[in-house]
Amino acid sequence: KAGVTQTPRYLIKTRGQQVTLSCSPISGHRSVSWYQQTPGQGLQFLFEYFSETQRNKGNFPGRFSGRQFSNSRSEMNVSTLELGDSALYLCASSEGVLGNTIYFGEGSWLTVV
């Protein structure tokens, strides 16, 4: 069974640009969550999508958005990039019931210059 797949793995963007990251969950999983990991703030929850609907959201500005498609694949977008957005962005999938094991992908390393 394939794991959580994220693309691209590495990318460099310039301040002010926008970026879109993609995530394919484990087959059969309907919940996709996104996390940001930085050395200063650690791992922080961005949002969760289930059956194409955002179900939960963390404490991030509106520049961070996401969506989920009917095949459960998800994308997250960050607009007007700031230097502080440089981070590892991790996607996770689960069956969507509270307490289910949440499986993570390898992440997308974003550098904003």
CB of residue 99 to other proteins, shortest distance in Å: 5
At residue 24, the 3 state secondary structure works out as strand
Are 84 and 39 within 8 A, CB to CB?
no
CB of residue 81 to other proteins, shortest distance in Å: 20
48 vs 85, which CB is nearer to other proteins? Answer: 48
6 vs 81, which CB is nearer to other proteins? Answer: 6
8 vs 16, which CB is nearer to other proteins? Answer: 8
Name the residues that contact other proteins, by CB under 8 A. 31-33, 35, 42-43, 45, 48, 50, 55-56, 58, 88, 90, 92, 94, 96-99, 101-107, 109
Q: 4: Cβ–Cβ under 8 A, 6 or more apart, which residues?
A: 23, 24, 25, 26, 91, 92, 93, 103, 104, 105
